Amino acid sequence: MLPLHSHPSGRHFLQIPGPTNVPDRVLRAIDHPTIDHRGPEFGELGKAVLAGMKKIFQTEADVIIYPASGTGAWEAALVNTMSPGNKVLMAETGHFATLWKRMAERLGLQVEFQAGDWRHGADPEQIRKRLAADDGREIKAVCVVHNETATGVISDVAAVRKAIDAAGHPALLMVDTISSLGSIDYRHDEWGADVTVAGSQKGMMLPPGLSFNAVSAKALEASKTAALPRSYWDWKEMLAINPRGYFPYTPATNLLYGLYEALEMLLGEGLENVFARHRRHGEATRRAVRAWGLEILCQKPEEYSPALTAVLMPEGHSADAFRKTVLTHYDMSLGQGLSKLADKVFRIGHLGDFNDLTLCGTLSGVEMGLKQAGVPHNAGGVQAALDYLAQTSRPRPDQAQAR
Ligand SMILES: *Cc1c(COP(=O)(O)O)cnc(C)c1O
């Protein structure tokens, strides 16, 4: 008997800061028969996506692709470079930095965690001081999260590199760009990162299931003597076969079709345009939040994330009840507050496959939800965003040349 299920009309708005909305082009690319990953056709695909990812990381260095979530690529970064008992310095920027720390400890590393208030990025000066005081050169790596997805705060990775160099310290620099790669400017080579960790489901616009390491020559050298046990994550086997476009075990073939398409989209738009688009949508979102009279979690304007905005709920109001209202009334998912921010913040994802009108729809859903849920706020947030978007509007990159 029809209908079996009721269907909400229109698209669901997946405005969590990852996974993000997957473009139709990418979905269609994935929807093809799986091919022999050791056959002649596959090698070309493998070579193309590995080369394309180097452009995204802005690197000439090796890039590794895992069939795994971002967490797997975190583990790969550590087990390929570290030995049991090694000391690593990490910055407490929020929930994701805390999870990476927990993983490092579980793997048998000694973590020094520089305390943070979850409203600021990593502090390069504090890192420099700690490294300068490390006479025995016991710290083997400095690990920072570029875009802390729990808070909407970015860390200045180039400044962290300068801090390590200023201390004359040999520690490796490892960076989590899981929610920034493909949406926020990130330069593996120029900023001197040794291992950069990324994932498929945020700025890269793919479904979850792929993750990445970009690996500097120095990190590769460290991997030769690193003694943590590893097998699945071993860079060596990957790098031995990747130049021919193949993988040592079955890759996520269909996700690689999608990656090829996503690379075409991002590189076709131009990375500079992609980054500018995200910065502009971040600014429009913050203008809306301020007009509502709500507080942005990130405290320093130079650390505002172009990919998401975390918004503090007014005292006595539940962020989760508000999010539930938005979901049930407007079919939009907003990001929840994580661990110590649970129920205190909601997060608006404005990254990935996103344009001015997607942002307008997103902010409209937030403003209507605030009203519906009885959250004290001023009207006019959406209007403030519209004004900014209209003032700063330019032809789409694909239309700029058109007459
Ligand atoms: C999403 C995210 C992770 C976790 O990645 P998974 O794909 O869920 O394993 C780690 N770090 C940051 C900054 C993230 O945004």
Same domain for 136 and 211, yes or no, is yes
**Is 402 domain-assigned?**
no
Whether residue 310 sits in one domain with residue 209:
no
Binding-site members for substrate are: 347
Are residues 345 and 319 in contact, defined by beta-carbon separation less than 8 angstroms? yes
Claim to verify: residue 190 and residue 327 sit in the same structural domain? no
Helix (H) or strand (E) holding 397: none
DSSP-assigned states of every residue in 146-165 = SEETTTTEE--HHHHHHHHH
Residue 2 lies in a domain: no
Residues tagged in the binding site annotation:
347
Q: How far is the CA of 299 from the centre of ligand 1 (A)?
A: 22
Q: What is the pLDDT of residue 3?
A: 80
Same structural domain, 276 and 263: no
pLDDT at 403: 45
* CATH code (residue 185): 3.40.640.10
Atom of ligand 1 nearest to the CA of 199: 7
Residues 44 and 125 in one domain: yes
- Residue 185 in domain: yes
* Structural domain includes residue 354: yes
For residue 297, give its domain range. 13-20+271-392
Q: For residue 146, give the ligand 1 atom closest to its CA.
A: 13
Q: So what's the pLDDT on residue 277?
A: 98
Distance 145 CA to ligand 1 centre (A): 10
User: Cα(272)–Cα(210) distance, rounded to whole angstroms?
Assistant: 24
Q: Please identify, by atom number, the ligand 1 atom nearest to the C-alpha of residue 148.
A: 13
Q: Considering the domain boundaries, does residue 339 fall inside one?
A: yes
Q: Give the model confidence (pLDDT) of 86-123 as tens digits.
A: 999 999 999 999 999 999 999 999 999 999 999 999 99
Pocket test residue of 179, 186, 206, 338 for ligand 1, highest count of atoms within 8 A of CB? 179
Q: Is 149 in the pocket of ligand 1 (CB under 6 A)?
A: yes
Eight-state DSSP code of residue 109: -
Asked, for residue 397, whether it belongs to a domain, the answer is: no
Match 């503090």 to its residue by tokens: 312
Asked if residue 5 belongs to a domain, the reply is no
Q: H/E element holding 256?
A: helix 253-269
pLDDT digits (tens, 9 = 90+) for 150-160: 999 999 999 99
C-beta 18 within 6 A of ligand 1: yes
For residue 179, the CA-to-ligand 1 centroid distance in Å is 7
- Specify the CATH number for the domain of residue 358: 3.90.1150.10
pLDDT at residue 394, as a whole number: 86
Both 137 and 44 in one domain: the answer is: yes
Q: Are residues 220 and 342 in the same domain?
A: no
Closest residue (by CA) to atom 2 of ligand 1?
A: 178
214 and 311 co-located in one domain: no
Q: Which residues contact 267 (CB under 8 A, 6 or more apart)?
A: 52, 55, 56
Q: Which of 267, 290, 320 is the last residue of a domain?
A: 267
Query: 390 C-alpha vs ligand 1 centroid, how far in Å?
Result: 33
Instruction: Decide if 290 is inside a domain.
Output: yes
Number of domains in the chain: 2
Same domain membership, residue 340 and residue 254: no
The answer on 383 and 327 residing in a single domain is: yes
Q: Are residues 32 and 109 in the same domain?
A: yes
Q: Which stretches in the chain have pLDDT values below 50?
A: 403
The residue from 217, 234, 267 where one domain ends is: 267
Helical packing angle, 217-225 and 70-81, nearest 10°: 60
Contacts by 191-194, CB closer than 8 A, 24 or more apart: 191/157, 191/158, 191/161, 192/158, 192/161, 192/164, 192/165, 192/216, 193/157, 193/161, 194/81, 194/141, 194/218, 194/219, 194/222
Residue 383 in contact with ligand 1 by CB distance below 6 A: no
Query: Ligand 1 pocket: which of 14, 65, 71 to mutate (most atoms <8 Å of CB)?
Result: 71
Last residue of a domain, one of 210, 241, 267: 267
Residue 275 and residue 238 in one domain: no
**Cα-to-centroid distance, 70 and ligand 1 (Å):** 5
Query: Looking at residue 335, what is its pLDDT?
Result: 98
- Which value, in Å, is the radius of gyration of the alpha carbons in the chain? 22
- Nearest of 400, 398, 377, 289 to residue 334 by alpha carbon: 289
Q: Is 114 in the pocket of ligand 1 (CB under 6 A)?
A: no
Ligand 1 centroid vs 5 CA: distance in angstroms?
33
